[in-house]
Amino acid sequence: MMKILKYSFYDLIRSRWSYVYFLFYLTLGFVLLFLNNDVSKAVITLMNVIIVLIPLIGTIFGVMYYYNSREFTELLLAQPIKRSSIFMGQYFGVAGSLTLSLVLGLGIPFGLYGLLRSNAIFDFSLLLVTGAFLTFIFVGLSFVIAIANENKIKGFGYAVLLWLFLAVVYDGLFLMSLIVFEEYPLDTFSLVATMLNPIDLSRILILLKLDISALLGYTGAIFKKFFGTDLGFLVSMAILFLWTVLPILGLRHKARRKDF
């Protein structure tokens, strides 16, 4: 698996899109710091951007990579390599190179700005860790969708729909159900509903750490009340981890049965 990972990663970090993605974060980091002139505020703005953007980029990159390397995957399948190693290697290659773009793209401007001397360093690292989780989760989900759909356009469509659902529609439905059922106790419901969406979960995880009550919202407040800041942090981290593992298991399962 490590060999496939190495080559996928190597292939990707030399592609134009990795640089575009890297440069985008680099610019975003510099612009935010220049406009805000404050690391903590920049982290919050950044959170709002990357929490929607990372899943989108992860989804699109994942699907694109899978379909583009299909013939090459077939070549690899005829080699004496275990099937799951091929797909795991490609998955970690894509997710790894995207995470590298994110970490370097944001790390460089913040590092230059004097992040290491500011006390926002932990908030900032948490932002990057969450970003990495979201990248791995959405690349994994998009790989599962792509492997389950022979048809490129269908696969692409489903993947983008999944992103749209989790990033936008989910919140709307959630809010609506809160209004409709406002006469009932909704604590457990909103707790579970938040855990079922990795994007919402990441948002709450970062806000809990930043300790900004004003931005927490209803679900965040419940999270905080229910678990407390520290336990809430650990629980949401654990669930994010679970969210990362599930697509990987799904991918392995699908890869084992698929015909090429």
Partner 1 sequence: MTIEINNLYKKFGKNQVLKGVDLTIGKGHIYAVLGPNGSGKTTLIKSILGMVIPDKGDISILEKSIKKDWRYRKQINYLPQIANFPPNIKVKELLHMIKDLRNSPSEEETLIALFGLEPFLSKKLSTLSGGTKQKVNIVLTFMFDSPLIILDEPTTGLDPKALICLKGLIQNEKAKGKTILITSHIMQFVEEMADEVLYLLEGEIYFKGTIRQLMEQTGQHDFEHAIAALTTTESHDENS
Q: Minimal CA–CA distance to 97: which of 7, 9, 16?
A: 9
C-beta closer to partner 1: residue 151 or 188: 151
**Tokens (6 digits) for 254:** 């699908």
Q: Name the residue nearer to partner 1 (CB basis): 41 or 70.
A: 70
Least Cα distance to 167 among 55, 45, 46, 43 occurs for 55
d(CA 138, CA 173): 21
CB of 246 to partner 1, least distance (A): 24
Task: Report the nearest approach of partner 1 to the CB of residue 45 (Å).
Answer: 34
Shortest Å distance, C-beta 15 to partner 1? 5
Binding site for partner 1 (CB under 8 A): 3-4, 7, 10-12, 14-15, 69-72, 74-83, 257-260
Considering the complex, state which of residue 8 and residue 194 has its C-beta at the smaller distance from partner 1: 8
- The two three-digit tokens of residue 153, written as one number: 């356009």
CA 163 to mean position of chain CA atoms: 10
- Could you give the angle at the alpha carbon of 68 between the alpha carbons of 65 and 70, nearest 5°? 105
> 5 vs 120, which CB is nearer to partner 1?
5
The CB-of-94 to partner 1 minimum distance in angstroms stands at 12
Alpha-carbon Rg for the chain in angstroms: 19
Please identify, using beta-carbon distances, which residue of 11 and 187 lies nearer to partner 1.
11
Q: Give me the amino acid identity at 79.
A: Q
101 vs 236, beta carbon nearer partner 1:
101
In the complex, least distance from residue 99 CB atom to partner 1, rounded to whole angstroms: 19
For the bound state, the minimum distance from the C-beta of residue 79 to partner 1, rounded and expressed in Å, comes to 6
Alpha helices, H only, the chain = 2-13, 16-36, 39-68, 70-77, 83-113, 121-148, 152-164, 170-180, 187-195, 198-210, 213-257
Per-residue buried b or exposed e for 210-248, using 16+ beta carbons within 10 Å of the residue's own CB: beeeeebbebbebbbeebeeeebbebbbebbeebbeebb
- For tokens 């998009």, the residue is 142
Q: Which is nearer to partner 1, 13 or 178 (CB)?
A: 13
d(Cα 180, Cα 119) in Å, to the nearest integer? 42
Q: In whole angstroms, how close is the CB of 91 to partner 1 at the nearest point?
A: 15
